[in-house]
Amino acid sequence: MQQTTMMQNLAYTMGTLLRDMRQTLDKRLKAYDLTRYEWMIIALLQYHQGEATQAALRDYIGIDDSYLTKVLDKLTEKHIITKAVNSEDRRARVIKINSANGDLVQGVYHQLQLFNEQLLSVVSPEGHEALFTMLERIHTKIRTHC
């Protein structure tokens, strides 16, 4: 097997990329007084038309239930989200964006979209599909445990 440089190591490169992206977004969103998981939840809810189950948020973000509950409680205290019992499954919770804080949510989502556009500007529009196709293939490979 051929030896690779550190930057040719996919796990290292993707890990540092993700770390740097999160740190940059943390700085950009500091004015909103949100933690990383708070802005991630807001972005996910906005992406999913303003609501998602607590289980879906947990699975997407990858944090345990107890910590997610603390983050959701904090967002509820800030009046950014509401929590309700799922009418189809009383054991499940539906998390919704509180329309009273729409400006904050729109501001966060706008910053995330702007960041995304800035990152993708280094790839030609034709290359966007190829980039996402490759990333999805890598993701599928990881999920099937290589």
For residue 6, pLDDT over 90 is answered with no
For residue 1, pLDDT over 90 is answered with no
- Tens of pLDDT, residues 63-105: 999 999 999 999 999 999 999 988 888 888 999 999 898 899 9
For residue 3, pLDDT over 70 is answered with no
- Tens of pLDDT, residues 111-140: 999 999 999 999 999 999 999 999 999 999
Q: Would you list the domain boundaries of the chain?
A: 6-143
Q: Which pLDDT value is given to residue 57?
A: 96
**C-beta separation of 123 from 134 below 8 A:** no
Alpha-carbon dihedral sign for residues 56, 61, 64, 65: negative
Show Cβ contacts of residue 95 under 8 Å, excluding neighbours closer than 6 positions.
41, 45, 51, 52, 53, 54, 57, 72, 81, 82, 83
Q: Which pLDDT value is given to residue 86?
A: 84
Give, in words, the CATH class of 6-143: mainly alpha
Q: Which pLDDT value is given to residue 32?
A: 94
Alpha-carbon dihedral sign for residues 111, 116, 120, 122: positive
- Tens of pLDDT, residues 15-71: 999 999 999 999 999 999 999 999 999 999 999 988 999 999 999 999 999 999 999
**C-beta separation of 42 from 72 below 8 A:** no
